[in-house]
Amino acid sequence: MAAVIRVEALERVYRIGPVSVPALRGLDFAVPAGQMVAIMGPSGSGKSTLLNLLGCLDRPTAGRYFLAGDDVAHKSSDELAEVRNRRIGFVFQNYNLLPQLTAFENVELPLVYGRVGRAERHRRADEALAAVGLADRRRHHPMELSGGQQQRVGIARAIVGRPDVILADEPTGNLDSVSGNDVLQLFHALHEGGSTIVIVTHDEEVARHCQRIIRLHDGQLVRDDEAPARNLTATGEEAEPC
Amino acid sequence: MLIDSLRMAWRSLAANTARALLTMLGIIIGVAAVIALVSVGQAATQSVTAKVENLGSNMIVVVPNQAQGVTLHVADGNWLLATVPQISAVAPLLEGGVMSRYGTKTWSTTLLGTTPPSEQIQGRSMSAGRYLVGSDVQLRRQVAVLGATTEQNLFGGLNPIGRTIQVDGMPLIVVGVMNQSGGAGITSNPDDEIVTPVTVAEQILHTNNVAAFMTEARSSDLAPLAVGHLQAVMSRRFRSSTAAEVVSEDQVLKTLASLTGTLTVMLGGIAGISLLVGGIGIMNIMLVTVSERTREIGLRKAIGAKRSAVALQFLIESGILSLGGGAVGGALGYAGALTFTSALHWPSGTSLSTVLLALVFSVAVGVVFGMWPALRASRLDPIEALRQG
Whether the CB of B144 is below 8 Å from some CB of chain A: the reply is no
| Strand B244-248 to B105-114 pairing | unpaired
What value does the mean pLDDT of chain A take?
A: 90
The minimal CB distance from B4 to the residues A57, A81, A112 is found for A112
pLDDT at B348: 73
Q: Which of A3-12, B170-179, B334-343 shows the lowest per-residue confidence on average (mean pLDDT)?
A: B334-343
Q: Best interface-test mutation with B: which of A109, A155, A159, A169 has the largest number of B CBs within 10 A?
A: A109
Q: Is the pLDDT reported for residue A139 higher than 70?
A: yes
Taking the CB of residue A18, how many other CB atoms lie within 10 A of it? 5
CA–CA distance, A101 with A118 (Å, rounded to integer): 17
Residues 306-325 of B with CB under 8 A from A: 306-309
Residue A175 domain-assigned (yes or no): yes
> Do B218 and B160 form a contact (C-beta atoms < 8 A)?
no
Taking the CB of residue B167, how many other CB atoms lie within 10 A of it? 20
**Residue B165, CA distances (Å) to A187, B105, B107, B169 in order:** 103, 10, 11, 9
Residue A3, beta-bridge partner list: A32
Residue A241 domain-assigned (yes or no): no
What value does the mean pLDDT of chain B take?
A: 87
CB contact under 8 A, A85 and B303: yes
CB contact under 8 A, A113 and B306: yes
Give the mean pLDDT of B188-199.
87
The minimal CB distance from B303 to the residues A52, A90, A100 is found for A90
The CATH number assigned to the domain holding A146 equals 3.40.50.300
Helix/strand/coil (H/E/C) assignment for every residue in A192-212: HCCCEEEEECCCHHHHCCCCE
Q: Where are the domains of chain B?
A: 2-51+254-387, 92-207
CA–CA distance, B17 with B328 (Å, rounded to integer): 16
Q: Which residues, other chains included, contact A51 with Cβ-Cβ below 8 Å and sequence gap of 6+?
A: A39, A167, A169, A198, A200
The residue ranking higher by pLDDT, B224 or A197, is A197
Q: Is the pLDDT reported for residue B32 higher than 80?
A: yes
The minimal CB distance from A115 to the residues B1, B298, B303 is found for B1
Residue A222 domain-assigned (yes or no): yes
Q: Is the pLDDT reported for residue A231 higher than 60?
A: no
Q: Tell me the residue ranges of DSSP E strands in A33-61.
A: 36-40
**Residue B385, CA distances (Å) to A22, B15, B205, B300 in order:** 22, 21, 87, 10
Q: Is the pLDDT reported for residue A137 higher than 90?
A: yes
- To the nearest whole Å, the CA of B371 is away from the closest chain A CA by 19
The minimal CB distance from B295 to the residues A85, A96, A113 is found for A96
CB contact under 8 A, B304 and A52: no
Tell me the backbone φ, ψ of residue A74, rounded to 5 degrees: -125, 35
pLDDT at B167: 94
Residue span of the structural domain in which A148 resides: 34-59+87-226
Residue A12 domain-assigned (yes or no): no
> Do A228 and A211 form a contact (C-beta atoms < 8 A)?
yes
Residue A76 domain-assigned (yes or no): no
pLDDT at A241: 40
Residue A6 domain-assigned (yes or no): no
pLDDT at A237: 41
Q: Is the pLDDT reported for residue B221 higher than 90?
A: no
CB contact under 8 A, B304 and A99: no
- To the nearest whole Å, the CA of A88 is away from the closest chain B CA by 8
Q: Best interface-test mutation with A: which of B1, B5, B294, B303 has the largest number of A CBs within 10 A?
A: B303
> Do A34 and A194 form a contact (C-beta atoms < 8 A)?
yes
Q: Is the pLDDT reported for residue B362 higher than 90?
A: no
Cβ-count burial of B182 within 10 angstroms (0-12 exposed, 13-18 middle, 19+ buried)? middle
Q: Is the pLDDT reported for residue A227 higher than 80?
A: no
- To the nearest whole Å, the CA of B275 is away from the closest chain A CA by 30
Residue A155 domain-assigned (yes or no): yes
Confidence of residue B384 (pLDDT cuts 50, 70, 90): confident
CB contact under 8 A, A113 and B304: yes
Q: Is the pLDDT reported for residue B351 higher than 80?
A: no
CA–CA distance, B349 with B35 (Å, rounded to integer): 10
Give the mean pLDDT of B148-157.
89
For chain A, how many structural domains are there in total? Answer: 1
Q: Which residues, other chains included, contact B304 with Cβ-Cβ below 8 Å and sequence gap of 6+?
A: A81, A82, A84, A85, A86, A110, A113, A114, A161
pLDDT at B52: 64
Q: Is the pLDDT reported for residue A81 higher than 60?
A: yes
Tell me the backbone φ, ψ of residue B127, rounded to 5 degrees: -95, -25
CB contact under 8 A, B307 and A57: no
Core vs surface per residue B343-364: b (16+ CB within 10 A) or e: eeebbebbeeebbeebbebbbe
- What digits encode the pLDDT tens for the residues B135-145? 999 999 999 99
- To the nearest whole Å, the CA of A98 is away from the closest chain B CA by 7
ipTM (interface pTM):
0.89
Give the mean pLDDT of A60-84.
92
Question: How big is chain B by its Cα radius of gyration, in Å?
Answer: 32
Residue A149 domain-assigned (yes or no): yes
Confidence of residue A238 (pLDDT cuts 50, 70, 90): very low
